[in-house]
């Protein structure tokens, strides 16, 4: 019947041979004929041979049944594909024989768009890279431009960047762990964690005016100083957030079903992880204690008392454990930072980089001219190129900037951590079961916005 509609080779599959619609409606201008002559059923048997999996080293066919593979498209719109990406899988029963990832469904020309805007107007686009922790992207980009400008932001701005950045990281891990557990069927954890995420959102909303796309970073500082009750709100968060983490910890960490589902699934060795360019929690789960905040400290990260959690096996369970511990470490950093939040300005005292205060803009000719030039011509960044990198939500978030001088970037490249992490997804899924896909993709924390940019 219909279900032999399995398989074509990757080469012949999608482009020229549309699957016929049963009414006989055809896309105009495309002719179609059944691949096997004599097959009356329009969905009739079509076979594929994935040679490398069906033959052993001596060229003998190992599994006579395995040629009846079933092709299944997971995504681009599928409940477990958080964001839009597609995995095309060849299944033998429920075991994946071959998987080909396809990305690009959420490509929005981030890099090209950035070239068409003044330096300071790129911030809203960076929000939409890893939209689970937008402020970390703001900081990453701002740091890169500041490096090219050769300026250092005031200490208060640094501290606020650390505080909000670490809270954003907690948010990122909340979403990652929460959705990963949802995909394994444990929905309740998702609600526990998302409640905490909403609380952080409320803080970000009070600070920046937006819950999700904060666009709060600025070249040379921040959009504005934090509001009066900021410190109290952060302290309240520090009280409430650990509870959500503990709740999930108690509910799921030692759950036998969860351990069975996650332990030993998709393990990766430290060497492999490095070879594939992995960074962030997934790399640390494989046992490599690399964290940009420790390895190349910025914003006084080396002065805080915190540790890098690392795993041993690099499997889904270790990634979960590493993320859980990182959230606690991040909260500890926030606690130390909020205890020592210096007074002072949050923007550099340079009107060619940070806009002058509004009363100056409206009441003095100098302020108005500075504001005009900044708005119309952009921040004047000297010619040169720079690579600057920070620890993003799921790994090393790098920005490579090229400037020819003037108000616009000549070229921006974003090193998205999950792009590197997602590279080997196809081969590494082979031999896993269908149910493992959702666990694996969830644990990698692949954010389509950042992957496709």
Partner 1 sequence: MDWTGVGISLLKAFLVFFGVVNTVPVLVWAERRGSAFIQHRLGPNRVNIGGFTLLGLVQPLADVVKFVWKEDYVPAHANRAFYVLAPVLLLVPAAMTFAVIPFADDIVVAGRQITMQVADLNIGILYVFALASLSVYGIVLAGWASNNKYSLLGGIRSSAQMISYELALGLSVVGILMIYGSVQLDDIVHGQGEHLFGFLPKWGVVTQPLAFILFLAAVFAESNRLPFDLPEAENELVVGYHTEYSAMKFAIFFMAEYMAMVTGAMLIVTLFFGGWQIPWVESAELQAAVGAIPAALLQLGSFSAKLLFFLWLFIWVRWTLPRFRYDQLMRLGWKMILPLALANVFVTGLVLYFT
Q: Which is nearer to partner 1, 428 or 435 (CB)?
A: 435
CB of 395 to partner 1, least distance (A): 24
Between 70 and 308, name the residue whose CB sits nearer to partner 1. 70
Choose between 195 and 373: whose C-beta lies nearer to partner 1: 195
Q: How far is the CB of 280 from partner 1 (least distance, A)?
A: 23
Interface with partner 1 by CB under 8 A: which residues? Answer: 1-3, 21-23, 43, 70, 72, 78-80, 94, 181-188, 191-192, 195, 251-252, 255, 257-258, 260-261, 433-438
Q: Is 32 or 419 the residue whose CB approaches partner 1 more closely?
A: 32
User: Which is closer to partner 1, CB of 123 or CB of 174?
Assistant: 174
Rounded to a whole number of angstroms, the minimum distance from the CB of residue 417 to partner 1 is: 24
Between 26 and 257, CB nearer to partner 1: 257
Q: Minimum Å distance from CB 83 to partner 1?
A: 14
Q: Could you tell me the smallest distance in angstroms from the CB atom of residue 312 to partner 1?
A: 22
Q: Compare residues 260 and 302 and give the one whose CB is closer to partner 1.
A: 260
**Closest CB 265 distance from partner 1, rounded Å:** 9
- Strands, sheet with 411-415, edge to edge from the N-terminal-most edge strand: 384-392, 395-403, 411-415
CB of 185 to partner 1, least distance (A): 3
**Closest CB 3 distance from partner 1, rounded Å:** 6
SS (H, E, C) the chain: CHHHCCCCCCCCCCCCCCCCCCCCCCCCCCCCCCCCCCCCCCCCCCCCCCHHHHECCCCCECCHHHHCCEEEEECCCCCCCCCCCEEEEEEECCEEEEEEEECCCCCCCHHHHHHCCCHHHHHHHHHCCCCCCHHHHHHHHHHHHHHHHCCCCCHHHHHHHHHHHHHHHHHHHHHHHHHHHHHCCCHHHHHHHHHHHHHHHHHHHHHHCCCCCCCCEECCEECCCCCCCHHHHHHHHHHHHHHHHHHHHHHHHCCHHHHHHHCCCCCCCHHHHHHCCCCHHHHHHCCCCCCHHHHCCCCCHHHCCCCCCCCCCCCHHHHHHHHHHHHHHHHHHHHHHHCCCCCCCCECCCCCCCCCCHHHHHHCHHHHHHHHHHHHHCCCCCCEEEEEEEEECCEEEEEEEEECCCCCCCEEEEECHHHHHHCCHHHHHCCCEHHHHHHHHHHHCCCHHHHHC
Nearest distance, CB of residue 325 and partner 1, angstroms: 20
Q: For partner 1, which is the closer residue by CB, 286 or 437?
A: 437
Work out how close the CB of 289 gets to partner 1 at its nearest, in angstroms, rounded to a whole number: 29
Q: How far is the CB of 23 from partner 1 (least distance, A)?
A: 6
Please, which contacts does 346-349 make with residues 24 or more away whose CB atoms are closer than 8 Å? 346/153, 346/154, 346/156, 346/157, 346/160, 346/221, 346/222, 346/224, 346/225, 346/226, 347/153, 347/154, 347/157, 347/218, 347/220, 347/221, 347/222, 348/151, 348/152, 348/153, 348/154, 348/220, 348/221
* Nearer CB in complex with partner 1: 43/201: 43
Are 449 and 132 within 8 A, CB to CB?
A: no
Nearer to partner 1, 159 or 261 (CB): 261
Residue whose pair of structure tokens reads 């071959």 in the numeric block:
98
If the CB atoms of residues 55 and 433 are measured against partner 1, the closer one turns out to be 433
């Amino acid at each position: 019947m219909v279900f032999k509609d399995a398989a074509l080779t990757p080469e012949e599959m999608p482009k020229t041979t549309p699957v016929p619609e049963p009414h006989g409606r055809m896309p105009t201008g495309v002719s179609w004929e059944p691949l096997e002559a004599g097959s009356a059923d329009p969905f009739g048997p079509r076979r594929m041979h994935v040679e490398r999996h069906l033959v052993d080293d001596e060229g003998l066919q190992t599994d006579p049944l395995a040629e009846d593979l079933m092709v299944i498209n997971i995504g681009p719109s599928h409940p477990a594909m958080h964001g839009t990406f597609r995995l095309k899988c060849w299944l033998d029963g429920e075991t994946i024989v071959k998987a080909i990832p396809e990305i690009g469904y959420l490509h929005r020309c981030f890099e090209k768009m950035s070239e068409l805007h003044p330096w300071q107007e790129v911030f809203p686009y960076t929000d939409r890279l890893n939209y689970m922790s937008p402020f970390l992207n703001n900081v990453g980009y701002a740091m890169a431009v500041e490096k090219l400008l050769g300026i250092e932001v005031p200490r208060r701005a640094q501290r606020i960047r650390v505080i909000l950045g670490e809270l954003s990281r907690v948010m990122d891990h909340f979403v990652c762990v929460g959705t990963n557990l949802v995909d394994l069927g444990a929905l309740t954890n998702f609600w526990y964690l998302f409640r905490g995420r909403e609380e952080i959102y409320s803080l970000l909303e009070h600070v920046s005016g937006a819950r999700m796309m904060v666009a709060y970073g600025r070249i040379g500082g921040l959009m504005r100083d934090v509001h009066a009750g900021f410190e109290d709100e952060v302290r309240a968060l520090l009280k409430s957030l650990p509870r959500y983490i503990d709740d999930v910890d108690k509910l799921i960490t030692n759950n036998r079903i969860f351990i069975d589902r996650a332990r030993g699934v998709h393990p990766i060795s430290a060497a492999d992880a490095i070879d594939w360019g992995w960074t962030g929690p997934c790399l640390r789960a494989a046992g490599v204690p690399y964290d940009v905040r420790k390895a190349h400290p910025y914003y006084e990260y080396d002065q805080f008392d915190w540790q890098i959690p690392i795993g041993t096996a690099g499997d889904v369970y270790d990634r979960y454990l590493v993320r859980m511990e990182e959230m606690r470490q991040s909260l500890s950093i926030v606690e130390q930072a909020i205890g020592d939040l210096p007074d002072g300005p949050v923007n550099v005292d340079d009107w060619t980089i940070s806009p002058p205060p509004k009363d100056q803009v409206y009441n003095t000719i100098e302020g108005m001219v500075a504001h005009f030039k900044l708005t119309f011509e952009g921040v004047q960044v000297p010619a040169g190129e720079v690579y600057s990198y920070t620890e993003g939500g799921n790994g090393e978030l790098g920005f490579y900037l090229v400037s020819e001088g003037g108000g616009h970037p000549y070229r921006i490249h974003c090193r998205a951590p999950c792009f590197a992490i997602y590279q080997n997804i196809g081969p590494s899924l082979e031999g896993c079961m269908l149910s493992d896909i959702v666990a694996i993709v969830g644990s990698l924390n692949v954010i389509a916005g950042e992957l496709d940019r």
